[in-house]
Chain A
């Protein structure tokens, strides 16, 4: 009995375990509206382009509501459930499960209800949001952006490319090269949606562009060549001694300025002339060289130079434009100009001879030919024009009477041998030369005055005194016509260069020493009537009416006073060898170049 009593006591103790009774009732309003959610995806388009390996970064927000998990479906088959406490979910379809192709994908996102209830807080109560997209799985290369278009755009070069449509985008790099080997990164774009940019270094040169996309992997686009036009230099004569240079830039926004240079004639290189600002598009180049073709170069300086243009040679090659021009006013388009000591100069065209009155500066007379012809000589006073017509006749044109006479070769020598040289005097008497035979013929009276066939050398050229009594064959040998005989006079060369007979004194010849003096020498007694110091290599011609001498060196034209020898005028030129006499003719303060250009003193 006692044991039972104690047993019951102990059992009582054990049965007196503490009992919990209180509870907390939380009154919550369960009626809440479904929120509006906003979704962000790490894709640039509505279609999700995935390359390997990449991922879908899905972010959803709806005010204060929390999204704790999403279900991801591919072609209505659940791929997985993803959890997050921030509303951002990274979904990575395995590259091994899906081949390249198009898939329907669905994302179900579950938000809490926002009531604050137990179920809400543990993620068992909320709202379901469903989204559907098309997903394209493709190889990296197919997703690589490509340059689609390169074009001018308001003074700049615009490049458009296809957008990178997949994930993990970091930046676009636009590369530029001129050789396909040495690439320069000219543009960096960090916005995936930006698919165009301007090349700040392009000014029209030939270039190759490529796009490189950095997106976890580096994707290489195909290169694309583009060539536009660097500013092209155009040259035109401006007055008689200047060029007007013009150019146009289609990429003016990228131009820092221009350099004008003159291409050297004798060696490779350029003579710097000036630097111009980017706003300029014309330049007057003054004091260009006369008597030679000038070549000028425009080098455009870009604001930004690609790194592969490491030296000036490269830049010049790609950024320059050259243009040729000739200083002088366009004149007679002829190969022969004769400046006799009269009122007109005589020039020819392909089918006519013109007399140009240099007082009125108008043509005063013309002689039209229907056959081939060649002017052989003009008398010093300009009254007779002697030439060959149709390779069988001489023609003689009397300027004062405006009459033309033809004499057959055979009428003079009995044969049709061609006459290479001839010289006409004021009297109408001319000396003619067929290889080594000399003839003196009176074209006024149609009379062969003299002939000589015992010379063993050809003439260089023939000159005759104004009165028709003396002539020279160009070797400083002078001959006198005595009756029907041709007599050689004693040699008076004295190592001087022969120029011509003095048209004002038939017995005087004009000879000169390069960079020495011009001397008027009597051919009979060798007396010197006048000596004028000069510093030029060649005597081009003497304008006796104006009293001026035109001489030339390799780099200058010089005009001296015939009486005092003082230097009156000079002008730059260029010639690798000395000019030949009569290439340039001075006549009444105008220098005529037989190429058809003139300048005024």
Chain B
């Protein structure tokens, strides 16, 4: 499909852009937060949820070409990572239950210019494609520096995503700088053990299967480099 688009672009495109984005993203992570709550409640000692999937840095990359005057099409890549920790440290030892979650998305991005005035450009963006999530769950119990128990399990999940958004850009020659905002939504799929897909991550006690939930807003700054086609001249 990418090559089809490029084929069209070769006929009608007037401009090609490569862009990078950096910003913040939050995610609901409903199922994993439930895992944390239950784990915390089951601990026999006093502990705290010190981190619980906070807003974290988000990176994205896109490559697109204008097909019509106000419409361009391209491919995109998105990377987001967050995590959680249940912690307790006292004189006798320490306990940690860490979860590092990363989400990688790639797909197509559509852009519609909805406002242009001099150097300002406002675009409605709509990305869709596939995502792949990875979860690294690590539980550590160290006692009196004599006993050390560490359990690490890796999980993963795959699915589809859609991300509508808006870019507000300022053009300076062939460079565009601006802000972006979008809402990321994904299909909620079960999370499986990486080394054995038949084993699913469940909420302790209830045994409800945990599903990916990256839904949330993303925002940040965007930097684009554009090139001009000779047909436009």
Contact surface of A with B, Cβ cutoff 8 Å: 9-10, 12-14, 16-28, 30, 115-122, 124-125
Contact = CB atoms under 8 A, between A and B. Distances in A.
A23 B45 contact: no
Contact of A118 (B48, B77, B104, B141): B141
A36 B63 CA distance: 75
Contacts of B98: 20
Nearest to B43: A121
Contacts of A116: 45-46
B87 A122 contact: no
Given A9-B61, A17-B100, A24-B48, A118 B81 contact: no
Given A28-B91, A120-B92, A18 B45 contact: no
A85 to B, nearest CB: 11
Contacts of B44: 121-122
Contact of A25 (B51, B61, B90): B90
A508 B43 CA distance: 132
B59 A23 contact: no
A115 B144 CA distance: 15
Given A13-B79, A16-B81, A118-B141, 12 more contacts: A9-B61, A10-B77, A18-B101, A23-B50, A23-B85, A24-B48, A27-B90, A30-B91, A118-B90, A119-B93, A122-B45, A124-B143
Contact of A12 (B46, B59, B88, B100): B59
Given A13-B59, A118-B90, A120-B92, A18 B144 contact: no
Interface string B128-153: 00000000000001011001000000
Nearest to B53: A18
Given A18-B82, A27-B90, A119-B93, A124 B147 contact: yes
A11 to B, nearest CB: 11
Q: Which of B43, B45, B95 has most chain A Cβ within 10 Å?
A: B45
Contacts of B43: 121
Interface residues of B, number: 39
Contact of A117 (B81, B84, B92): B92
A19 B57 CA distance: 11
B144 A119 contact: yes
B88 A16 contact: no
Contacts of B89: 23-26
24 contacts: A12-B59, A14-B79, A16-B79, A17-B102, A18-B100, A20-B98, A20-B100, A21-B51, A22-B51, A22-B87, A23-B94, A23-B96, A24-B88, A25-B89, A26-B45, A27-B90, A118-B94, A119-B143, A121-B43, A121-B45, A122-B141, A122-B143, A124-B144, A125-B144
Nearest to B58: A16
Nearest to A30: B91
A124 B90 CA distance: 14
Contacts of A119: 92-93, 143-144
A12 B104 CA distance: 13
B91 A117 contact: yes
